Amino acid sequence: MFATKANQMKQSVTLLGIESSCDDTAAAVVCGVPGSMKILSSVVFGQNDLHASFGGVVPEIAARAHAERLDSTIQKALDAGGVCLKDLSGIAVTCGPGLIGGVVSGVMMAKGLSIASGKPLYGINHLAGHALTPRLSDGIVFPYLMLLVSGGHCQFLIVHGPIHFERLGGTIDDAPGEAFDKVARLIGLKQPGGPAIETLAERGDAARFAFPRPLRNKPDCNLSFSGLKTAVLRARDLLVSEHGGLRISDQTSLAASFQMAVAESLAGKSATALKQYLSLSPKNPTFCVAGGVAANMKIREMLEKVAASVNVTFLAPPLGLCTDNAAMIAAAGIEQMSHRSPDDMTLSARPRMPLDMQSPIMLGSGKKGAKA
């Protein structure tokens, strides 16, 4: 059956993508074949204003906003792409992992559209969307090394194919994006924390505070960021006790020193991951980075240097494809169509959904299942 699908995939297909796993309501239309795709439209509605006063994303508010905006977002994507539902080859939707209220909103909308149009439905792992983004942006060949680094996730993956992901390691506690948000709150910055810290760090002294690089000397690809966050808290409290508050120079240097610690931690473990990846002798060795934190230019700069040191091509997708978007979900659907069957109406939303189901659990367990 899959061989027949593979032959069919020589012809261009058009998929609608739907993404609602966190606080971005997104829809997109993508056409093409695996490894050669074109974004016809990509619409993203953020929710920063809705959550700003709370210092972070409030799941209940996010879920309600998704429910209110999904239909209009999808219509705008279809209109901008110049297509109707009848023109589509299928519908791809994020089915996890993520904030469950938002994921449910997207899955239910996709099911309704699938029933109404008769188009096949493809539930897509949000992490697979990020991991396959280089196939959308640059059409690179498998296998490639991927650092998926975002607000909720951080892991090194060898992407062997559209449905084959091998995890080499990742965070054992906080994700980098989560650490950026928490540190931003600690030093009095607005959310989202990543852009706020990056902007402030440009004026700071990255060598002023000697923050730790946890697990630096461990020979594996695992990372930790909770201790780094605690170190920033202690440095901040000491400054407040000495000066009665944080001065601008304190804020800028705390931001710069923290950002440098994260960048050096990721760069160090990237070197370890690259050694494992290169042992496969890939024909076109490529190191990719994706996820919201991949938009940080200091981190990109350091990762690129690590890749260059071992003659590996470094690839970071355009900024608009690093953060959450639906184009990556539609593209993942196109990549996976010839390797799997469509989903039926039993497709469920999942708050946790590991990408590599073969590797030992790294993070999370219990009723909700593993995060990674």
**Beta strands 144-149; 36-46: pairing state:** unpaired
Instruction: Convert the pLDDT of each residue in 266-320 to its tens digit.
Output: 999 999 999 999 999 999 999 999 988 988 999 999 999 999 999 999 999 998 8
213 shares a domain with 149: yes
181 shares a domain with 287: yes
Least confident of 41-45, 58-62, 346-350: 58-62
Residue pair 33/13 in contact by the 8 Å Cβ criterion: yes
112 shares a domain with 16: yes
> What percent of the chain has pLDDT above 70?
93
- Does position 257 have pLDDT exceeding 60, yes or no? yes
340 shares a domain with 288: no
Q: What is the CATH number of the domain that holds 19?
A: 3.30.420.40
Distance CA(230)–CA(235), nearest Å, equals 9
Residue pair 18/70 in contact by the 8 Å Cβ criterion: yes
Q: Is 100 exposed, middle or buried (0-12, 13-18, 19+ CB in 10 A)?
A: middle
149 shares a domain with 112: no
170 shares a domain with 84: no
333 shares a domain with 186: no
Compute the average pLDDT of residues 13-20: 97
Token duo for residue 281: 């002798």
302 shares a domain with 156: yes
180 shares a domain with 130: no
- Does position 137 have pLDDT exceeding 80, yes or no? yes
232 shares a domain with 180: yes
Distance CA(326)–CA(177), nearest Å, equals 20
Taking all residues of the chain, what is their mean pLDDT, rounded to a whole number? 92
- Does position 117 have pLDDT exceeding 90, yes or no? yes
Q: What is the pLDDT of residue 9?
A: 58
Number of domains in the chain: 2
| Torsion region of 119: left, alpha or beta (phi above 0 gives left; psi -120 to 50 gives alpha) | beta
pTM of the predicted protein model: 0.91
| Domain of residue 7, residue span | 2-137+321-368
182 shares a domain with 41: no
Instruction: Convert the pLDDT of each residue in 152-183 to its tens digit.
Output: 889 999 999 999 999 999 999 999 999 999 99
330 shares a domain with 310: no
